[in-house]
Amino acid sequence: MNGTFPPDLPSEPAPPAVPTPASPPSSAPAAPRASAAPEGSGIGVLGMGTYLPARQRSNEEVAAAAGVSPAWISQRTGVHTRHAAAPDEAASDMAAAAVRSAVAAAGLDAGQLDLLVLATSTPDELGPATACRVQALTKARNAVAFDVSAACSGWLFGARVAHDLLRGDTGARYAAVVGVEAYSKFLDPADRGTAVLFADGAAAAVLGPVPAGEGFADFRLGSDGVLADNVLIPAGGSRTPAGTGTVAEGRHTIRMDGRAVRDFIVEMFPRIVSESLTRNRLRMADIEAFIVHQPNPRLLRSVGTELGVPPGRLPIVADEVGNIGAASTPYALATSAVNGPLRQGDRLLLAAIGAGMTWGSALLTWSGAPVIRTAPTADPLQRSTR
């Protein structure tokens, strides 16, 4: 049995990026609270931030442990490199870095956030919510912080929640939605089906009021719990608590039925896209970019070609970062804004598929929001062109 969550309201542009003062210490007065979004405005992206940990893992390194060749990884997946968190670096650390960058890009202070939604499959701990850890790290003291769990679809689920709360709460104006994964801590290096694909990283967006006609529209979410065993970490929860046996059996690492997941993506991705276009009376040519979760670059290119996505309109980022789960879709969006560059008014179709199985889509009219990317480069801060 499966469930779908129906439509919503439209929305999105952003103020120009400006230098952002550091959040005041906890003893200082909170930043002034902004009024609710003006009547008739939409909810869109005001700024974005991304973070990749410093350590990079090449195909040569991964192949040695997985018992395959570097060429096998490239040919089967299209992934060439990926990033791995440091031993003392948790999901909250990466997410906080992305949120700080997104808030700065939006020209805001963390104290102005009303909502902080975090999507992940690899939390710091089973409880409390990793979002609360990020709230403390970023000093977003006025935000309501909580997690959503929808695997690789998680950021899109979180964006829907934030969008609707901002539309419905007259006292709320700004929300940070961040996707983050520390998959490298939950991988069996010898499992070639997962070790070659999954990686670490974070990407965040600050959502807030934008002029009418811009921003998000037509969110659609779905799930089919019958397929929950297709991708999972079997132990560590209340059904199979951690113990010496579960550790010895390697049941705290990702298990994936690769064939079943591939077949689901091949069937579902065209359906998500086609149904969104049909509902909104749009053609492929009306979409400037298809911003989608990046499970496997080779598979994604193949599905896009069969679907008839126009050349150059399906940005691929997983070849350089791997599958970073809930961070994948916002990372692709931020990268497209920097490298595209996306132009204000461009219509985008967002789509994601994740474990559960879960899926979602939305339309987004781009506002020209700034992006700050924090990456292990000589010049770590990279701003998008407006």
- Residue 146 confidence (pLDDT): 98
pLDDT of residue 41: 83
Give the pair of three-digit tokens for residue 307.
Answer: 């679907």
Confidence band for 36, pLDDT divided at 50, 70 and 90: low
Report CA-CA distances (Å) from 89 to 54, 124, 126, 141: 11, 10, 17, 23
Q: What is the mean pLDDT of the chain?
A: 88
CB-based contacts of 376: which residues, under 8 Å, 6+ apart? 52, 53, 54, 55, 56, 83
Strand-pair category, 371-374 with 42-51: parallel
pLDDT tens per residue, range 113-156: 999 999 999 999 999 999 999 999 999 999 999 999 999 999 99
| Coil/strand/helix, residue 334 | helix
Dump pLDDT digits (tens) for 187-223.
999 999 999 999 999 999 999 999 999 999 999 999 9
Confidence at residue 3, expressed as pLDDT on a 0 to 100 scale: 58
Q: Is residue 228 pLDDT above 60, yes or no?
A: yes
Does the pLDDT at position 25 exceed 90? no
316 by Cβ neighbours in 10 Å (0-12 / 13-18 / 19+) ranks as: middle
Location of structure tokens 């692709």? 332
Task: Classify the phi-psi angles of 345: left when phi > 0, otherwise alpha if psi is within -120 to 50, otherwise beta.
Answer: left
Can the peptide bond before residue 209 be classed as cis, meaning omega within 30 degrees of 0?
no
Burial of 99 (C-beta count, 10 Å sphere; 0-12/13-18/19+) = buried
Sign of the CA dihedral running 134, 319, 285, 271:
negative
Structure confidence by residue, pLDDT tens digits, 274-327: 999 999 999 999 999 999 999 999 999 999 999 999 888 999 999 999 999 999
Instruction: Examine the pLDDT at 32 and tell me if it is beyond 60.
Output: no
Candidate from 93-97, 136-140, 381-385 with smallest mean pLDDT: 381-385
Indicate the SS3 state at residue 145: strand
Task: Give the active site residues.
Answer: 152, 293, 323
6: CB partners within 8 A, 6+ apart: 220
Local confidence band at 169 (pLDDT 50, 70, 90 cut-offs):
confident
CA distance 4 to 112: 33
Say how far apart CA 14 and CA 368 lie, in whole Å: 7
